[in-house]
Structure 1
Amino acid sequence: MVQNAWIHQTVLLNEAVDALAVRPEGHYVDATFGRGGHSRLILQRLSAQGRLTAFDKDPQAVAVAQELAARDGRFFIRHEGFRLLSGLAPASADGVLMDLGVSSPQIDDPARGFSFRNDGPLDMRMDTTRGQSVAQWLETADVSTLSEVIREYGEERFAQSVAKAIDRRRQERGPIRTTGELAEVVAGAVKTREPGKDPATRTFQALRIFINAELEELQQALTASLQVLRPGGRLVVISFHSLEDRMVKQFMAGHSRAVVDRRAPFAEPPPTRLAEVHRIMPSAAEVQANPRARSAVMRVATRTEVAA
């Protein structure tokens, strides 16, 4: 059995699964398994004929999922990023759930390098079996690139100052290897921050998003969901920062509007592909019980026509 000292509290657990409107004999996709909170509740609502496919890049999450798959023949896990939803058969799913948050075990385990609160190797890869770590990337990234990444993905107004401080630290003392070293550098460059926020918050967010190509993968997964969902199937997405939520909001809105071809203004517009259902925020009680839920936003849409 996989042992883990860090417990994950699934955000919007019942709300997300309720939004999927689970049919007992349906096929559902948990595009970000994490530690399986949503998956286990979906399985409780499926009959013996139902099935659930999950994706995750994190080897630790996959190990947990493999244990579940060994006990439940309705469940299948794929050690892949959710951009590979496109590999599923067209119009084969009754619902797709994407929980975009970093799981508590990832944040709380210093060895993963996601958190500035506990010193550890500066890694931040979701999939530790492939790709560059943040430490490796920081060794060679120039100041201009550093500044652009931190500003674009972290929405950090002191991005240029942080980039210059990282470069100065590299020249004076060598590569930055740990989360504590990076947090110290950022704290010296960011002079003010919102009350209750660590100066390193935005820089760590930016580097994590960049090194894992999170926004690019989200865009690919959203597009793939249009092909995978059956008519009437639900798309449910939980976001945890403004960049993700803006992308999801624009995607759902863009596919919920009929677009008139200006070259043929009297022609019948093509059918919309989604119908927005609603937006849900965590309750005050959930935020009090799990502070990491405070920034969550869940958006729900329904597939409206047959996939191309």
Structure 2
Amino acid sequence: MGGFDMDVGDHAAEAGHVPVMLGRVLELAAPAIDAVPHDETPVHIDATLGMGGHAEAMLRAHPRLRLIGLDRDTTALERSARRLAPFGDRVVLEHAVYDEIPRVLRRLGVPAVHSVLFDLGVSSPQLDEADRGFAYSYDAPLDMRMDRTQRLTAADVVNDYPPAELARILREYGEERFAQRIAAAIVREREREPLETTRRLADLVRTAIPAATRRTGGNPAKRTFQALRIEVNGELETWRRALPAALDALPVGGRVVVLSYHSLEDRITKQVLAAQTADTTPPGLPVPLPEHEPRFRLLTRGAELPSDEETTTNPRAGSVRMRAAERVREAT
């Protein structure tokens, strides 16, 4: 295991974390890993390592497996290093964003990977740690950086972005129908005094929207916080690069599994997989040519949802959508 200290210690908190749709993730990845000849080592990338729950289960299920774990959050990597320490050199952890998969594989000298998991969005520890500023339920600095080594914070966005750009972010990334009103309220408030805390922003959003809207649909700041988080971390732009890069790393039989938590991520996933699973034979061509045949096949019909039992025991699974695909043809 590389890059982080492996003090086994007490990792009760990590072990108590409940990975989303774990059984189905294992089921979908298994054929790709099991098909690797016994004189070769199957490689799995957990591209959003988080607390390491999916990674640990994958390593236990496949004793020959080598796992490469990526995360932009150094705190998550440190916790996962403790959790995965018993697996020794079967694990390599990298401080990287998931669109950096090609760079990581080149550096490690790994030509291909057999399965890839993306568990997108904000992780449980990031939500639960008040000082990270992701949650409107805590009063904390407006931070929202998944990678604390980067400079841009949510406070920078709300205090420095032009009004039109603020409104665009809230409208596109938060799907907020009152984006213009909220952006105008933020601009008025920051002229009086810079916005620095989550509670002040959440209260401002609440007062900026119509009174009738405040009484339904949960906390009215939810969409604003989502939009700011996506902007601060460049989530959608990164995801548009990451999924094609992961697909390119798969050999025939290799599989990718994606867990998305809001419609914007899932829409990109659906579009990328649809393009990769489409037959591109031109109309009127008498015989389909191999280069026009689909390079991937879908393993899920639409987006799979968690069971009612899982959403009851693990509420954070409630919004998840799963999609998966398998490479069936080499790239031309």
TM range (shorter): over 0.9
Aligned to 2:312: 288
Aligned to 2:227: 206
Specify which of 65, 70, 76 is matched with residue 55 of structure 1. 70
- Greater shift after overlay, 129-138 or 61-70? 61-70
Specify which of 239, 251, 254 is matched with residue 275 of structure 2. 254
When normalised by structure 1's length, the TM-score is 0.93
Matches within 5 A, 1:1-308: 1=9, 8-21=17-30, 23=33, 25-47=41-63, 49-68=64-83, 70-72=85-87, 73-87=89-103, 88=105, 92-172=112-192, 174-191=193-210, 192=213, 195-261=216-282, 265-266=285-286, 268=289, 270-278=292-300, 279-307=303-331
Which aligned runs of 4 or more in structure 1 are off by greater than 6 angstroms? 2-6
What amino acid does structure 2 have at the position aligned with 1:44? R
Deviation at 1:219, TM superposition (A): 1.1
What amino acid does structure 2 have at the position aligned with 1:211? V
- Looking at structure 2, the residues matched to 286 and 274 of structure 1 have their Cα atoms a distance apart, in angstroms, of 29
Deviation at 1:242, TM superposition (A): 0.4
Q: Conserved in 1, the CA contact under 8 Å of 2:47 and 2:70? A: yes
Deviation at 1:141, TM superposition (A): 0.5
- Looking at structure 1, the residues matched to 280 and 72 of structure 2 have their Cα atoms a distance apart, in angstroms, of 36
Matched pairs, number: 305
C-alpha RMSD of matched pairs (Å): 2.1
What amino acid does structure 1 have at the position aligned with 2:313? A
Percent identity for Structure 1 against Structure 2:
39
What amino acid does structure 2 have at the position aligned with 1:213? G
What amino acid does structure 1 have at the position aligned with 2:123? S
- Greater shift after overlay, 157-166 or 80-89? 80-89
What amino acid does structure 1 have at the position aligned with 2:269? V
Q: Conserved in 2, the CA contact under 8 Å of 1:228 and 1:307? A: no
| Secondary structure of the corresponding residue to residue 76 of structure 1 | strand
Deviation at 1:70, TM superposition (A): 4.1
- Greater shift after overlay, 36-45 or 253-262? 253-262
| Structure 1 stretches lacking a partner, 5+ long | none
- Looking at structure 2, the residues matched to 196 and 152 of structure 1 have their Cα atoms a distance apart, in angstroms, of 19
Distance 1:243 1:3, change over 3 A: same
| Secondary structure of the corresponding residue to residue 51 of structure 2 | coil
More helix by share: 2
Distance 1:301 1:107, change over 3 A: same
- Looking at structure 2, the residues matched to 118 and 179 of structure 1 have their Cα atoms a distance apart, in angstroms, of 7
